[in-house]
Chains A and B, each alone.
Chain A
Amino acid sequence: MKSLRNVSVLVLALVMMAVALPVFAGGQQGGAGDTPYIAVVSKGEQHDFWQQVKKGANAAADQYGVDITFEGPASESDVQDQVEMLNNAMAKNPVAIALAALDTNSVMDQLSQTLSKGIPVIGFDSGVPNAPKGSIYANASTDNYNAAGLAAEKMFSVIKSDIEAATAANPVKIVVMNQDAAGESLLSRGRGFRDTMVKLIAEKSSLSMNDIKVMGNPAYVDSSNPTGGNKVMIEMVVPASASATDSAAAATAVLNKVADDSVLGIFCSNEATVKGLLAATNDGADLPAKYAGLVVIGFDAGEGQKNAVRNQYFLGSITQDPYQIGFKAVELAFKAYKGEPVMDVDTGAKFYDKTNMDNDDIKGLLYD
């Protein structure tokens, strides 16, 4: 008899556990009902960047009256976790999926499954590069080429007179720091800055295409680029590796040549290269002290970079619009589910400097 009582105690404990579950679930379990469900699987959730994406996604969900779940793995190397999240999301019969894949190869089976079932998949942020044809209906992402072009415009407007003053005897240089020569988004940024700068110099200054020389890492130099000039050099720099120390070393090497090569401006195409430059310049404080007149533009945000912009060590930085990325991802997913034609959306980029970084429309885009 006694053991029977023990069994009942144990069963009770199990039941209590089962009862505890919905308590935890409380609030998170919205009205399941008949509202269409869209699964959003991101690359992460922790960073402020992703929190902004999530806010945007939720706003779009409210606007279109859909249920969404937003989840991502704890770190960007947790490919396995993301695959499981996608699997679990797909088992819940979503009408559409928004996906920022950490690794396209590992979700190949899932993508061919959505393709055969006719579930639309929308890529967001970096999207799902090299996905099977037809599985990705559209992408909501920053057009990196245009975003970097914006940086080139801002820089050009400041250094235009210095560029026009350049001669063959006293050439000037513009440096682009790229973290690596492999990632598609970074390649687009480098090219976007380079092409826009070349175009601006050729069209809006007294110099012509023949005065420009694009040099540096071959991945960033196309055959269509001018390479025969001797007045304005555009150097594409790639550090030895993506590590923070190599970024800093490459930045130091560039800074050492600022006086000799008359470097007018540096564009750092992502947060890692910005951090490298900051590390090489005492968090940016050396920039006005030792390299007065040097124009620096960064990309993305982060505490150090925001500080550098606020203190005007940098002219400013380019920021993506994570809120719009999330919003457009869910919007496209909803439209694809409705059968409306969808196409890639550029979620835009904004230039921020000391004067506008605290404005409401910018503040939300700058994360630490």
Chain B
Amino acid sequence: MSYSNDNKTLFENFRDIGLQKFLAPAALVILYIFFGLFGRNFFSYSTLINILDSSYYIGFIAIGVTFVIITGGIDLSVGTVMMCAAIIGGTAYKSWGWPMWLSLILILIIATAFGFFNGIMVSRLNLPPFIATLGTMMISMGVGSIVSNVRSATFPTRSNADGWFKSIFKHINEDGASFPTGALVLLVVTLLAWLILTRTKMGRYIFAIGSNKEAARLSGVNVRKWEMMAYVVSGFLAGIGGIAFAAVYTTVMPAQGQGFELYAIAGAVIGGTSLSGGVGSVFGTLIGVYIMSVLRTGLPSMDLQAHYQTFFTGVVVIGAVLLDIYRNKKASQVKIPAKSDLYRSEMTEKIKSLKNSLQGADSPESESIKAEIAAARKEMNEVYKKLKEEEKKLKQGLAED
């Protein structure tokens, strides 16, 4: 008996956690298994590393953009800011002869500065986030090209002494075996972001601003400051993304990065972050990023080319947003139990108690109880149907008036 009770609470738990939180990881697992069954050599360590490798740069900016989206804003500049910072860092290293560590810090500073710039425009100058970050997107792309003279920036390769920074994201030992250290970095960053969002004042304020900016302001929250901080975090993470990009792909071409922001936003949305603000989790975003990354690696393993990946990512994004809308609608619905529903729950209780007594009873008695249950079920279904139809008619009548 206690077993069935536990079962029920487990199901209720699922419902409480929310369908989406359960479905996104489920979709990830389903996709992974699916590609494992149909792809060529998909269940392998090297494929796993490829999935992780291609998740870093989108992963970092997706976590950053999650902060901004939770405040109810949007950051379209993350992709180009990431590439701008990376190419300037590369130019500093290659053309200006800066040491490697300083070039990497420069990447972080430039990206954070762009985040700061976005934050000021949105929170102090009251520009709509869409417009402000659209402008920054173009500005950063232009700045990257200007500083680099439209030349590609090549970071040192692994054999070079300055190639140590590549090991931050992928460690390769002498035997040629590689270890995806970048996945750990991404996980730690996600964990920190999660702590900030759920365990600190800043996180609470960011959620508060996203839920209702005016209410947050009236409650004494320094809305300007904390809204700006969300953009600064986004910029800083774009910097980390830039370093990850340079580490994995070595060469940074000028005027790139357009489109990455959309993957980042897609990752956040798939992970359950609501574009209307106030709702979101960085772990959800991480799952969303991995879903896209699995698609990116899985489709080629089935000999499908890159454009199929874009297609299916689109399908996943639309599915995720539909879920989001459905969930919001469900949450905001006020439920008034109708007569039919009341009757049904009453009958369900009755059947249940009969079932319970069935367990203690011996065989002749149980036969009669079983018959009773069947009768009750039949009665319940018939009456419920009738009541439901009556209610429907009533509703229609009301609608016609």
Contacts and interface: CB of A to CB of B under 8 A. Distances in A.
Given A85-B306, A105-B157, A108-B157, A3 B251 contact: no
A168 interface: no
A187 B157 CA distance: 26
> Which interface class (under 10, 10 to 19, 20 to 34, 35 or more) fits B?
35 or more
A106 interface: yes
Contacts of B303: 25, 28-30, 69
A14 B154 contact: no
A84 B172 CA distance: 18
Interface residues of A, number: 47
Nearest to A71: B305
B154 A105 contact: yes
B251 A103 contact: yes
Interface in A1-18: 3-4, 6-7, 10, 13-14, 17-18
Interface string B70-114: 000000000000000000000000000000000000000000000
Contacts of A89: 300
A114 to B, nearest CB: 10
Contacts of B11: 4
Interface in A189-209: none
B191 interface: no
Contact of A81 (B158, B250, B306, B326): B306
Interface stretch (A90-98, A138-146, A328-336): A90-98
A88 B300 contact: yes
Interface in B293-319: 296-297, 300-306, 308, 312, 315, 319
B97 to A, nearest CB: 18
Interface string A52-94: 0000000000000000010101100111110111011111110
Interface centre among B256, B297, B305 (most CB of A within 10 A): B305
Interface in B249-301: 249-251, 253, 256, 296-297, 300-301
B350 to A, nearest CB: 17
A22 interface: yes
Contact of B40 (A18, A37, A103): A37
Contacts of B159: 108, 112, 132
Contact of A105 (B19, B50, B251): B251
Nearest to B254: A77
Interface in A100-144: 103, 105-106, 108-109, 112-113, 116-117, 132
Contact of A92 (B154, B251, B301): B301
Contact of A28 (B50, B256, B304): B304
B304 A113 contact: no
A239 to B, nearest CB: 16
Nearest to A15: B30
B133 interface: no
B262 to A, nearest CB: 15
Given A7-B19, A21-B302, A87-B53, A108 B46 contact: no
Contacts of A10: 19, 23, 323
Contacts of A14: 23, 26-27, 30
A83 B249 contact: yes
A289 interface: no
B176 interface: yes
DSSP class of B's interface residues: helix, strand, loop or mixed? Answer: helix
Nearest to A7: B19
Looking at chain A's contact residues, the main secondary structure is helix
Contact of B302 (A25, A77, A87, A132): A25
B172 A21 contact: no
B366 interface: no
Contact of A91 (B15, B34, B41): B41
A3 B326 CA distance: 11
Contact of A80 (B26, B154, B245, B308): B245
Contact of B34 (A21, A87, A103): A21
Contacts of A71: 300, 305-306
A10 B44 CA distance: 29
A80 B297 CA distance: 14
B123 interface: no
Given A6-B19, A14-B27, A103-B154, A91 B250 contact: no
B130 interface: no
B251 A106 contact: yes
Interface in B214-269: 245, 248-251, 253, 256
Contacts of A78: 253
Contact of B152 (A29, A103, A116): A103
A74 B175 CA distance: 34
Given A7-B19, A87-B53, A13 B319 contact: yes
B295 to A, nearest CB: 10
Contacts of B140: none
A10 B253 CA distance: 41
B172 A109 contact: yes
Nearest to B301: A92
B50 A88 contact: yes
Interface in B28-56: 30-31, 34, 38, 40-42, 44, 46-47, 50, 53-54
Given A18-B30, A77-B256, A112-B176, A29 B301 contact: no
B253 A79 contact: yes
A18 B323 contact: no
Nearest to A111: B157
B176 A113 contact: yes
Contact of B249 (A3, A22, A80): A80
A116 B176 contact: yes
Contacts of A84: 50, 54, 296, 306
Nearest to A115: B176
Contacts of B154: 103, 105-106
Interface string B323-354: 10010000000000000000000000000000
Given A21-B38, A69-B300, 11 more contacts: A3-B15, A18-B34, A80-B256, A84-B296, A87-B297, A89-B300, A93-B40, A103-B250, A103-B251, A108-B157, A109-B166
Interface of B: 11, 15, 19, 23, 26-27, 30-31, 34, 38, 40-42, 44, 46-47, 50, 53-54, 152, 154-155, 157-159, 166, 170, 172, 175-176, 178, 245, 248-251, 253, 256, 296-297, 300-306, 308, 312, 315, 319, 323, 326
13 contacts: A18-B34, A21-B34, A25-B304, A28-B304, A74-B306, A79-B251, A87-B297, A93-B40, A105-B154, A106-B250, A112-B176, A116-B175, A132-B159
